[in-house]
Structures are given as C-alpha cells and as structure tokens.
Structure 1
Amino acid sequence: MSSASAWETPSTRTELIENLVSGVDRYNPSNVGILEDYLYHQIRSEEYDCLANLAILKLYQFNPDLYNPDVVINILVKALTALPFPDFNLCISLLDERPVASNPDEPDPLPSLLPVLQSLHNLLQQCRFPAFWALYRSEDAEPLRDNYTIEVAGFENAIREVVVRAVKAAFQRISSQRLSTYLDFSDEELPTFVEALGWTIDASTGVVSIPPNADNQIESTVVQETIQLPQLVKVIAHAQAS
C-alpha cells in the first residue's frame, strides 16, 4: 500500500465488494457473510482492504448477534500491517465493550488477545521494532501466533514492509546488525532481503546504503521575503517613534 487512493480503493476489490462498501447496502446485515468471506480471501491471498473490513465491524456494532471474535481478531491482525496508515485505531474505535462470554465452552478470545495486539501496534507505531519482535515471539503472544497470524499469508513479511517504509524514510545508511534486529533476520538472511530491495551492503564495514528518496534527503530551504518600500518606510517610522 503506497498511497491514499490505493488505501481507499485497492485494485483487488471486486465490483461486488465495491457496491457493498460504497453503496446503499453497506448497512444491510444480510451481506455480512460476503464481507467475512472477502476478509478470509484477503488472509489467504496477501491482499488487504481496510474499508471492507471496517464495514464488517460497523455491521457488528449495529447487529451484536452477528459478532464473531475470530473475524475481529483477523481484521486487527491485517490492520497491523498497514502502518503508517491509521487502520488499527480505526478498527479499535468500532469495537464495543462486551461482557465476558457466559458460555465456558466457547470463550471469547478477543479480551485476552486485544491487549497483546494493542501493544504490538504501539511498538510498531513507535518504531521499536526489536521490542515488537520480542513480544511477538513471546509466550504472551503464543495464542495469537498459533491461532491467527499463522493463517495470515505473508504476515511477517508484511510487518517487515512496515519496517522498510520506516527505515527508508529515516536513514541513508544503517548498520547491517541494527537492520537485522529491526527485521528479525539472521546475518545470513539479511543480504538476500537487502539485495531484493535494491539496497547495498558494504562487505568491509557491514553498512547498508539506502538509495535517496524524498524522505531521507536533507535539503536546505531558503525563505525569501519581499518587503515593499512603503512597508519598509512604515517600519522605520514606527521604530523612530518608539
């Protein structure tokens, strides 16, 4: 995802989904199954459509009987990969407070996983990438990994794309050791990944060079103000009067 237009209308969205997201049927509860199927298509195919997923959460708000915690968790997992866009917070804003499930045989997994998901989002947003991977690999996140992210095709690489976007915007050069911790790669895995990005590693120093782009270039800005003579006369007269 590289632009706001792609975020609003991804090229992979079908005409049917476009009509459900943008048309009068947006709030028709009978369409929730179609949108949920579309979410699982996104999970299997590495596609992503935030507005379609938000439409599911809105339907859950209006129709609590439709609520499916697994769908909500999968929506939040996909939203993690969209940073720096505000998708995760948009999704969170549509979640209502729910009582603890009364059926012990089918406990709601969302209350226990939501704090983990929020912590992962915060770490990504703060560019604390090593801490993100540490939490993601931790025992606390094991239910999330074993039951959800394992099903999301390309999830870890999508997170690495979030890292790459941040690194490209902030660095011209970065040590390979530091970059490895950001990407959760071993020293052996990093060179292939860096080469695929079009970046280079200096074998003697281990420094990764990032090509110039609009964000990582420091450019001086010259501000030129034009003062007309009558204005200058007023300034001088005011100074003399003071």
Structure 2
Amino acid sequence: MAEVMRATVASLLKGIDRYNPDNLTTLEQYVKMQVDENTYDLEANLAVLKLYQFNPGNYNESVTIYILLKALTNLPHTDFNLCHCFLSAKNLNSEDVQKVFFLADLLEKCQFKTFWKCNDFFSSAALLQILAHIDDLPHMVYDVVGFEDSIRKYICHVIGICYDTISRKVFAELLGCIPEMQLNQWIAKYGWKLIDSDTIFIAVQEENIKTKNIKETITLENVAAIMTMASKGQLVPPVAPQ
C-alpha cells in the first residue's frame, strides 16, 4: 500500500505539478500513511510545507506537526531544520508547534533523560516545570508509529560516537527507562559487548579519530610579493586587541 502511494506521489511531484494545490489532499493523506505505517518520505513532506507557503489558506497544523515529528525520527539528519525553513513566523508561533520544537531542542542538546521524563529528574523544581510542559504535548506524538524506537536509534548513534563504555543503568535511562529484555536487544543490535554485569563496551573512540594532514604551500613568488609590499609600506598592520 505504502509503495503504491509513494509511486503515485512521486508522479505528482514531477515538474510544475508539484505546486498544484489540488494535490494537497493526496499529499496530506500520504503524510498520515507515513505516520500509521512507519514509513518516511522527506521530499513529499517538504512539498506539502511548500504548498502551505504558497496557499496559506490551506494550512493544516495537524499535518505540519506530523511532518515535524516524522522529521525527528530521522535524526541525526537535518530534516527537521529543513522543515523549519518552510514554516512562516505565524505558524511557528503556534503553541503546539512550539512544543514539538521544544522536544527537538532537548534531542539536539542530548538531554535524553529529560526527553523521556526519567524519575531521576523529578527532584529538580526547574525540570518539573519543563516536564509539565512535555505532558501537555499534542496527542499526535503518540500517533506516530515507531516514534520512540526511532529516537532510541538516534540516542544509540550518539552513544556510539561519544562513549567507550557505559553502565547498563545509565544506558537504560537514556533510552527511556526501558526493561531489561529491550535493553539487551539494543545492545545486540549495535554489536556492543558486556564487560561485566553492569558495564557495556561501546568502542575505543581513539581508533575512530581520523588524523588529517594539512599541507600549505607557499611559493617563492608569494614571499617575494609580500616582501615587495612591505618595502613599499603597503601592508596594513594588524589591529591590536581591545
């Protein structure tokens, strides 16, 4: 079903017809299909947002929120930022749209425990206020099939490039306080190993650091030109720091 719809939408997006507002109904249905069937088509979703730009009277906030949430499922790619560029200032100021941007900000800053509302954070009055804000998110967050696992995949990506080892407790919290069985599945998925009952070996990060040799070539002609300018007083002296 999704593949048939993808092919239909691809044909609608060819040439000038991609800006035809009569296609909005089909494209919006396709967005909902992505939400329900855990598929993703960035090009089609950007086309919807572009049509909203050209036809503000057809703007649908619910569809926009679905598009933004689907973009979050493709982190660490920059899809969310692309979608952001297509939203007008008026639409950005919507309370529900701002809530999605709040979630995106937490993920960008790697505040994963706050994102999942782990109990460790309930001792902070400031974070209690933040968590209350999350609780008021639109119900569409929970409609997106595979949303939580997509975020966990992103979190594992971050862990994979930042950690040598990590404790099972911290790892479980970062993934949303998931049960032991799920935790073991994520460890196995990324090929990580248990060093002992509480420590997960991720990688030796030093082995992943690629050195880069920077070669700068200064020719005799370059030096001669500078010396000539200096002898004629044509070089501008550097400005002293204030």
Which band: TM-score by shorter chain? 0.7 to 0.9
Q: TM-score of the superposition, structure 1-length normalised? A: 0.73
8 Å Cα contact 1:175/1:207 also seen in 2: yes
What secondary structure, in the 3-state scheme, does the structure 2 residue paired with 1:85 have? Answer: coil
* 1:15 alignment partner in structure 2: 7
The answer for the alignment partner of 1:170 in structure 2 is: 162
Residue 128 of structure 1 pairs with residue 120 of structure 2: no
- Could you list the per-position Cα deviations for residues 120-160 of structure 1 after superposition, in whole angstroms to 9, with x for gaps in the alignment? 1112112221122238x933233435x20211101111111
Which of 121, 137, 142 matches 2:135?
142
Q: Structure 2 length as normaliser, TM-score? A: 0.73
Q: How does 1:59-78 map to 2 (within 5 A)?
A: 59-78=51-70
Name the residue aligned to 2:100.
117
Which structure has greater helix proportion? 2
Q: CA deviation at 1:12?
A: 8.8
**Residues 79 and 223 from structure 1, CA distance in 2 versus in 1: closer, same or farther, beyond 3 angstroms?**
closer
- Provide the identity percentage: 35
- Cα distance in 2 for partners of 1:14, 1:116 equals 29
| C-alpha contact 2:52 2:58 (8 A) present in aligned 1 | yes
Q: How does 1:39-58 map to 2 (within 5 A)?
A: 39-58=31-50
Contact kept, 8 Å, 1:50 with 1:79, in 2: the verdict is yes
The amino acid across from 1:132 in the alignment is F
Structure 2 residue aligned with 1:191 = 184
Following superposition, the deviation at residue 72 of structure 1 comes to 0.8
Supply the distance in 1 between the matched residues of 2:50 and 2:211 (Cα, whole angstroms). 46
1:139 aligned partner, one-letter code = A
SS, match of residue 26 in structure 2: helix
The structure-2 alpha-carbon separation of the partners of 1:175 and 1:122, relative to structure 1 and needing over 3 Å to count, comes to same
Q: Aligned partner of 1:44: which letter?
A: D
Displacement of 1:171 in angstroms is: 2.3
Structure 1: distance between partners of 2:202 and 2:111: 20
| Uncovered stretches (5+) of structure 2, i.e. residues with no partner | 118-126, 228-242
AA in 2 matched with 1:120: L
| SS at 1:208 equivalent | strand
Provide the C-alpha distance between the structure 2 equivalents of 1:177 and 1:12, rounded to a whole number of angstroms: 43
Equivalent residue, structure 2, for 1:217 = 208
Pairwise CA RMSD of aligned residues?
3.2
| Aligned-pair CA distance for 1:167 | 1.4
Residue 8 of structure 1 aligns with which residue?
A: none
Please say if 1:200 is aligned against 2:193.
yes
Q: For residue 153 of structure 2, what is the aligned residue in structure 1?
A: 161
- Tell me, in whole angstroms, the C-alpha distance in 2 between the residues paired with 1:159 and 1:89: 16
Q: State the distance in 2 between where 1:73 and 1:225 align.
A: 49
Q: Deviations over 1:151-188 (max 9, x none)?
A: 11011111111111111222232222222221113462
- Offset of residue 79 of structure 1: 1.2
Matched, 1:84 2:67: no
